[in-house]
């Protein structure tokens, strides 16, 4: 089987894990000011996940990843490694990607933070990235072919003259960090699996202000940057397919989207 339907008890655990991952993003907001290093951001999140939430930071040691969270600034598309020499400055845009394990189940979510006064382009890029994710959430319900998710994201992003990264995708999630199916953020008609109630997966579009091509830095083996050094933005949620639409398991408290989306019709 190319996808996994979660049981009731698994769904309960995934709700807890999702909530917890979201709470890390809520908690870290107040620390994100010019002059903080990404290492310090990592340490605060690490301690909060372990000591306050009694959970495990899933990134730490994952295929050798050296830190507990990913911090991706400006032209870094994803998988930025926290570092004490990497200091936030006014005008930066940073994606913080949190994955936690609680009671053996994963929650995975990320968002952009804008540091101080940022450019009009930065603001627009982040806004379009978030809106592309929201549009895709609003069409999820049983019976929808998987490619519809990528289609709506790609159409919206390109209509706004930005580009979608093709090399990285969303994923099923549960006991494993990355499970079937792959969730592409661009249209691929072969991807015609139909969504079913009980599936849980992430949607995490990465969008670039310039060309879609990316490259992985050879020196650390992780950091992915845009090839043309243009800005990149990403938002990620973990979602459960319900009989009425979907539940956004990683919704943050003051986020302007409902936890339960009723997507019939």
Question: Footprint of ligand MF3 on this chain (CB under 6 A)?
Answer: 59, 62-63, 65, 70, 79, 97, 99, 108, 202, 204, 236
Tell me the closest approach of the beta carbon of residue 197 to ligand MF3, in angstroms: 23
Please identify, using beta-carbon distances, which residue of 63 and 256 lies nearer to ligand MF3.
Answer: 63
Q: What counts of helices (H) and strands (E) characterise the chain?
A: 4, 16
Please identify, using beta-carbon distances, which residue of 123 and 178 lies nearer to ligand MF3.
Answer: 178
Ligand-binding annotation for 97, yes or no, is: yes
Tell me the closest approach of the beta carbon of residue 82 to ligand MF3, in angstroms: 11
Tell me the closest approach of the beta carbon of residue 160 to Co ion, in angstroms: 23
Query: Are 165 and 76 in contact, with CB atoms under 8 Å apart?
Result: no
The piece of 156-164, 184-192, 202-210, 213-221 that touches Co ion (CB under 5 A) is: 202-210
- Tokens 């580009």 correspond to 163
Query: Are 202 and 71 in contact, with CB atoms under 8 Å apart?
Result: no
Tell me the closest approach of the beta carbon of residue 27 to ligand MF3, in angstroms: 17
CA distances to 124, 141, 207, 248, 252 from 224, in Å: 21, 32, 13, 27, 26
Residue 160: both structure tokens together: 């706004």
Please identify, using beta-carbon distances, which residue of 141 and 150 lies nearer to ligand MF3.
Answer: 150
Ligand-binding annotation for 179, yes or no, is: no
**How many angstroms separate the CA atoms of 109 and 257, rounded?**
15
Element (H, E) at 163: strand 163-164
- Give the contact letters, 98-117, x = binds to Co ion (CB under 5 A), - = no: ----------x-x-------
Tell me the closest approach of the beta carbon of residue 234 to ligand MF3, in angstroms: 8
**How many angstroms separate the CA atoms of 18 and 20, rounded?**
5
Kindly state the number of chain residues that form the binding site for Co ion, as judged by CB under 5 A. 5
Please identify, using beta-carbon distances, which residue of 56 and 244 lies nearer to ligand MF3.
Answer: 56
Q: Is 95 in the site for Co ion (CB under 5 A)?
A: no
Of these partners, Co ion, ligand MF3, none, which one is at the site of residue 92 (CB under 5 to 8 Å by kind)? none
Q: Is 18 in the site for Co ion (CB under 5 A)?
A: no
Ligand-binding annotation for 204, yes or no, is: yes
Residue 197: exposed, middle, or buried by beta-carbon count in 10 A (0-12, 13-18, 19+)?
A: middle
- CB neighbour list of residue 104: distance below 8 Å, 6 or more residues apart: 13, 175
Interior/surface letters 150-171, b for 16+ CB within 10 angstroms, e for the rest? bbbbbebbeeeebbbbbebbbb
Of these partners, Co ion, ligand MF3, none, which one is at the site of residue 59 (CB under 5 to 8 Å by kind)? ligand MF3
Site residues (CB under 5 A) for Co ion?
97, 108, 110, 202, 236
Positions at the binding site for substrate: 79, 178
Positions at the binding site for a divalent metal cation: 97, 108, 171, 204, 236
């Amino acid at each position: 089987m190319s996808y996994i339907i979660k049981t009731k008890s698994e769904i309960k655990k995934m709700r807890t894990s999702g909530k917890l991952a979201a709470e890390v993003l809520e908690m870290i907001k107040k620390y994100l000011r010019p002059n903080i290093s990404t290492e310090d951001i990592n340490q605060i999140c690490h301690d909060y996940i372990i000591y306050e939430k009694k959970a495990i930071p899933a990134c730490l040691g994952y295929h050798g990843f050296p830190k507990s969270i990913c911090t991706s600034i400006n032209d870094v598309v994803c998988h930025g490694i926290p570092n004490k020499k990497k200091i936030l400055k006014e005008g930066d845009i940073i994606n913080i990607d949190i994955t936690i394990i609680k009671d053996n189940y994963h929650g995975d979510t990320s968002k952009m933070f804008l540091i101080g006064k940022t450019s009009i382009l930065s603001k627009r890029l982040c806004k379009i990235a978030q809106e592309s994710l929201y549009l895709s959430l609003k069409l999820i319900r049983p019976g929808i072919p998987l490619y519809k998710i990528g289609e709506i994201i790609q159409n919206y992003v390109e209509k706004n003259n930005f580009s979608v990264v093709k090399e990285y995708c969303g994923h099923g999630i549960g006991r494993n960090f990355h499970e079937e199916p792959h969730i592409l953020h661009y249209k691929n008609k072969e991807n015609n699996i139909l969504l079913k109630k009980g599936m849980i997966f992430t949607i995490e579009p990465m969008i670039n202000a310039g060309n879609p091509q990316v490259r992985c830095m050879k020196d650390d083996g992780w950091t992915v940057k845009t090839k043309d050094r243009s800005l990149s933005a990403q938002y990620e949620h973990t979602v459960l397919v319900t009989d009425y639409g979907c539940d956004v398991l990683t919704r943050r408290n003051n986020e302007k989207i409902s936890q339960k989306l009723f997507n019939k019709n």
